Amino acid sequence: QVQLVESGGGLVQAGGSLRLSCAASGRTFGSYAMGWFRQAPGKEREFVAAISRSGDSTYYRHSVKGRFTISRDKDKNTVYLQMDSLKAEDTAVYYCAAQPSPKPASVWEHEYDYWGQGTQVTVSS
């Protein structure tokens, strides 16, 4: 089992940047593909980005590709989401999640077993 704690959210102006962090407990961090999802008010939670267990493969939703970068630090048991050129439509609660399956990192929520509590990102226009 793994526990996830997100941090780094906040209020930023459009065009600005934020870096979200997700610290994972446990010694098996390297066994999990990791993902970031977000949920805006009144909307369904949606996939944002994912990274493979090795860190060699990354995946992004189309609307954030080129602006967001997911990465992981195995020594720190942490996954990051660097968000640049933020837009008002990026406003949401952002969640990190861990996928224990040996399958490639997924864009589907149901593939992830462990979730953090979420961190609020607000982009003012």
pLDDT attached to residue 28: 81
Q: Please provide residue 31's backbone torsions phi and psi, each rounded to the nearest 5 degrees.
A: -85, -10
pLDDT attached to residue 64: 98
pLDDT attached to residue 30: 85
pLDDT attached to residue 1: 81
Are residues 80 and 68 in contact, defined by beta-carbon separation less than 8 angstroms? no
**Which pLDDT tens digits describe the chain residue by residue (125 residues)?**
889 999 999 999 999 999 999 999 977 888 899 999 999 999 999 999 999 999 999 999 999 999 999 999 999 999 999 999 999 999 999 999 999 877 889 999 999 999 999 999 999 99
Helix (H, G, I), strand (E, B) or coil at 105: coil
- Quote the tokens at residue 94: 């952002």
Q: Please provide residue 40's backbone torsions phi and psi, each rounded to the nearest 5 degrees.
A: -90, 160
pLDDT attached to residue 8: 98
